[in-house]
Amino acid sequence: MNLMKTENRIAAAVTDIIREKTGKDVSPNQVVLQKTRREFKGDLTLVVFPFVKMLQQPPEATAEMLGEALMQRLIEVDSFQVVKGFLNLRFSDAFWKSFLFEKIRKEDERIHQHEQETGRQPAVEIHGEGKAKQAGNAESLQGDAERPVVVEYSSPNTNKPLHLGHIRNNLLGYSVASILEASSKKVVKVNLVNDRGIHICKSMLAWIKYGRGETPESAGKKGDKLVGDYYVKFETELRRQMKPLMDAGSGEDEARRKAPLMQEAQELLRRWEARDPEVMQIWQTMNEWVYAGFDETYKRMGVDFDKIYYESDTYLLGRDIVMEGLEKGILHKKEDGSVWANLDEYKLDEKLLLRTDGTSVYMTQDIGTADLRYKDYCPEKMVYVVGNEQNHHFQVLQKVVEKLGKPYAGAIYHLSYGMVELPDGRMKSREGTVVDADDLMDEMVATARSTTEELGKTQDFSDEEKQHLYHIIGMGALKYFILKVDPKKNMLFNPEESIDFNGNTGPFIQYTHARIRSVLRKAGQQRQAMAPGGMKDAPVNDKERQLLNTLYHYPAVVQEAAGEMSPARIANYVYDVAKEFNQFYHDYSILNEEDKAVSDLRLCLAAHTARVIRDAMALLGIEVPEKM
């Protein structure tokens, strides 16, 4: 039983009933169906207020009439309840069992097909109602009628390792891409690496002056951490040089500009832009160190990309587009030679696009990169997963591109997210006070180990199984804690709160999945002997019905999460699933139920619950264990 098909049947029946009673047509947006609230009896609720005026009778009478008519027309509607202007429809036990058996049958068919093709069972559940479509190469995507969504996330600088802020960015971007795929969108996951500019030259200069040829191998450090250390070293030495200038009366900004180290960094940048061979060699070497470090962190984090763009390749692309806009009179040049976009019509300020010396700014680069991506993929939408401090930047980008008449202006979408805050305050990269991503992941795994061992949950595990479980729990706790928060909101991250086997946490959901898998293992061959025909007379109790209703809405939740680009919708939904199952499991036995038909029905329900949990958690990038 497909939710959309059922809702469409109800909507069509309501439309027919109103037309027969009044001779008037009902527009689709007038038929509003929603999940029935827990405090009322019912599975799906129809809002009847839109029909009151058409039928010229009170809301209660309208609901009563529609309820009676729907019961006569739709076999799945078993009874109804009227609550003011709301009609709560209750589906029959046969409907719910049919829904469950169809899900089990489809899953069995999928597993069988996969085994036939590969000789092994699939490791990951399918998403939503069908397998997510994978993005192909640029040529195949442009030739396809279905245009992809390009999702950009991560966008690190090659002067420091990834930190806590990057963790939220990466987890959010990867999960949004997975959710969009689950909603049957084609998705291309991209990363724009910021590998040029003055901040990169600061790390390079510090290594040249103070590094004495140090390498990641000689230092015993990941490459990104080594380069990050030199970025902090630059700032330390710069502040030492700034002090006498500030003591002599210079302001902080002036002292920073006048300090010899900053002037050397500016000269290094000029040499880089002139493609000085010596500078380019150092730049390439240090960037390779960073990329190797990033790859390790991405792998541990469980994120990946279909394509990586580099700022050093794209930062000049927008210049030609800007010059074309200048020639057409869309943009204007000031007396000093700088080029600007007038955005008064959008109630925004002027925006600088080319400096006096003709060099590009970040906005120009983003125009060029957007143009390149349009040529690469012809996307339906270009999603930029970037913190909310860049809200104005992306608002301006979209309007500048629109002013330039580019066909992809409407495709630009800024997925703005709030900052991750810590109990001790904000992070500062150049002062070395950031929470390193690798260190945080280490801490999460260590906390998972101590918490799990304290609860005695790994007594029958081998050492290898233990290490794998600790990693799953630690990373699951981290990912879930971050993704359950609405992306738009700032959040306070507390590692200790995230690893808790009770409440709205990743470990609680993971433990629920492991509990279900344990029940299914104990059932053994009993699961193989189950047949829908033997369960046709098994009743469906209220707790089972509530759980079934929650599972039933999973495809709709995926679509809503995709529309909102909010993993929080998935996270809080799967917590509801786990909570509903535990409430059912607390009150009713599965294996010790004497009525075999009832026991088999509950095994089917447990199996489907586990699959939905596993599938939903996969959309968050979270693995669930078979046992714990």
Q: How far is CA 611 from the centre of its chain?
A: 20
56 φψ region: left (φ > 0), alpha (ψ -120 to 50), beta (else):
left
Give the phi and the psi of residue 342 in degrees, each rounded to 5: -90, 115
Two tokens at 349? 């300020």
Most distant pair of Cα atoms in the chain: their distance: 91
Can you give the pLDDT at residue 482? 95
Q: Which fold has domain 439-619?
A: Isoleucyl-tRNA Synthetase; Domain 1 (1.10.730)
Q: Which of 395, 585, 419, 392 is nearest to 487 (CA)?
A: 419
Can you give the pLDDT at residue 293? 97
Confidence band (pLDDT; 50, 70, 90) for 110? confident
Q: Give the integer Cα–Cα distance in Å for 233 and 503.
A: 43
* Beta carbons of 596 and 534 less than 8 angstroms apart: yes
In this model, does residue 43 exceed pLDDT 80? yes
Can you give the pLDDT at residue 421? 78
Give residue-wise pLDDT tens across range 611-621.
Answer: 999 999 999 99
Q: What is the mean pLDDT of residues 376-404?
A: 97
* Beta carbons of 577 and 557 less than 8 angstroms apart: no
% of the chain residues with pLDDT over 70: 91
Instruction: Please name the residue ranges forming H helices in 338-436.
Output: 362-377, 391-403
Two tokens at 452? 């799990």
Confidence band (pLDDT; 50, 70, 90) for 124? very low
Give the phi and the psi of residue 623 in degrees, each rounded to 5: -85, 145
* Beta carbons of 437 and 297 less than 8 angstroms apart: yes
In this model, does residue 142 exceed pLDDT 80? no
Q: Which of 229, 244, 208, 224 is nearest to 287 (CA)?
A: 224
Q: How far is CA 168 from the centre of its chain?
A: 9
- Please indicate whether residue 86 or residue 146 has the higher confidence score (pLDDT): 86
Can you give the pLDDT at residue 88? 97
Domain 3-91 has CATH 3.30.1360.70: yes
Q: Say how many C-beta atoms besides its own lie within 10 A of residue 251's C-beta.
A: 10
154 φψ region: left (φ > 0), alpha (ψ -120 to 50), beta (else):
left
Residue 240: Cβ-neighbour burial (10 angstroms; 0-12, 13-18, 19+): exposed
In this model, does residue 134 exceed pLDDT 50? no
Can you give the pLDDT at residue 121? 53
Q: Which amino acid does the sequence have at 2?
A: N
Instruction: Please name the residue ranges forming H helices in 81-187.
Output: 93-118, 138-142, 164-182
Confidence band (pLDDT; 50, 70, 90) for 433? low
**β-bridge mates for residue 351, sequence order:** 341
Can you give the pLDDT at residue 141? 41
Cβ neighbours of residue 142 closer than 8 Å, sequence gap 6 or more: 377, 378
Give residue-wise pLDDT tens across range 534-574.
Answer: 677 899 999 999 999 999 999 999 999 999 999 999 999 99
Q: Give the integer Cα–Cα distance in Å for 113 and 278.
A: 57
pTM: 0.89
Can you give the pLDDT at residue 120? 60
In this model, does residue 131 exceed pLDDT 90? no
Q: Give the integer Cα–Cα distance in Å for 8 and 75.
A: 14
Q: Give the integer Cα–Cα distance in Å for 361 and 14.
A: 57
Give the phi and the psi of residue 310 in degrees, each rounded to 5: -125, 130
% of the chain residues with pLDDT over 90: 78
Give start-end residues of each CATH 3.30.1360.70 domain in the chain. Answer: 3-91
Give residue-wise pLDDT tens across range 187-208.
Answer: 999 999 999 999 999 999 999 9
Give start-end residues of each CATH 1.10.730.10 domain in the chain. Answer: 439-619
Give residue-wise pLDDT tens across range 247-289.
Answer: 999 999 999 999 999 999 999 999 999 999 999 999 999 999 9
Cβ neighbours of residue 153 closer than 8 Å, sequence gap 6 or more: 169, 170, 172, 173, 174, 176, 177, 189, 191, 303, 385
CATH number of 150-194+306-435, picked from 3.20.20.140, 3.40.50.300, 3.40.50.1970, 3.40.50.620: 3.40.50.620
